[in-house]
Chains A and B, each alone.
Chain A
């Protein structure tokens, strides 16, 4: 019974100890191994890689041109993520 999906949080529960993708506010994305979560979607993850998308040069040149997206990457060992910044948690792709 434990392995059936009945509510959205079950999807996250089945992703425990697996690598998940997390989208956050402020154009940030994380991938890491999920170890804990709660009802606020506070998360504890390990082996985390964070990607921050920065759009540069949006004011120069004609609209739609001249802007470039720079991606800053950062690695962290063990991380607590506050739930109010979480947009989505995606389970690992099973390929």
Chain B
């Protein structure tokens, strides 16, 4: 749930999603759900020469399970807040 919240705070920011098939897509994060499925607008594939079939695609929905990495804009991530929230969530998980 914590990471879902992080992605929610990053909506309307530019992110780069790297998929497990090595396709990298940069775009504006429009929405995210609990499975970390991601909707991206105004997308651009990083290596267009290798993926010409993606050139016409302007927005997309990415199934969470095919994501390997998401590169985030570091200026919009409060690392101290993240660490505190992670500690709180891990303690709550132990009590359960």
Interface residues of A (CB under 8 A from B): 2, 6-7, 9-10, 13, 16-17, 33, 35-39, 42, 44, 46, 76-82, 84-85
Question: For A46, what are the chain B residues with a Cβ–Cβ distance below 8 Å?
Answer: 74, 77, 79
Which of B2, B64, B65, B79 has most A Cβ within 10 Å?
A: B79
Q: Report whether A78 and B2 are in contact in the complex, using a CB–CB cutoff of 8 Å.
A: no
Q: Report whether B71 and A44 are in contact in the complex, using a CB–CB cutoff of 8 Å.
A: no
Q: Report whether A78 and B3 are in contact in the complex, using a CB–CB cutoff of 8 Å.
A: no
Dominant secondary structure of chain B at its interface with chain A: helix
Q: Report whether B3 and A35 are in contact in the complex, using a CB–CB cutoff of 8 Å.
A: no
Q: Report whether A76 and B71 are in contact in the complex, using a CB–CB cutoff of 8 Å.
A: yes
Instruction: Tell me which of A2, A44, A85 contacts B3 (CB under 8 A).
Output: A44
Q: List the 6 closest pairs (A to B, CB-CB), nearest first.
A: A78-B74, A80-B70, A36-B82, A78-B72, A35-B82, A77-B74
Of the stretches B39-47, B49-57, B85-93, the one at the interface is: B85-93
B68 within 8 A of A: yes
Q: How far is the CA of A62 from the CA of B78 in the complex (A)?
A: 53
A-B contact pairs, 13 of them (CB 8 A): A6-B94, A9-B93, A10-B90, A13-B90, A35-B82, A36-B3, A44-B72, A77-B72, A80-B72, A81-B68, A82-B67, A82-B69, A85-B68
Q: How far is the CA of A17 from the CA of B79 in the complex (A)?
A: 8
Question: For A80, what are the chain B residues with a Cβ–Cβ distance below 8 Å?
Answer: 3, 6-7, 69-72
Cβ of B6 to closest chain A Cβ, rounded Å: 7
Question: For B77, what are the chain A residues with a Cβ–Cβ distance below 8 Å?
Answer: 35, 44, 46, 78
Q: How far is the CA of A81 from the CA of B83 in the complex (A)?
A: 16
- With A37-B86, A38-B3 known, 9 other A-B pairs at CB within 8 A are A36-B6, A36-B82, A42-B36, A77-B74, A80-B71, A81-B68, A82-B64, A84-B65, A85-B68
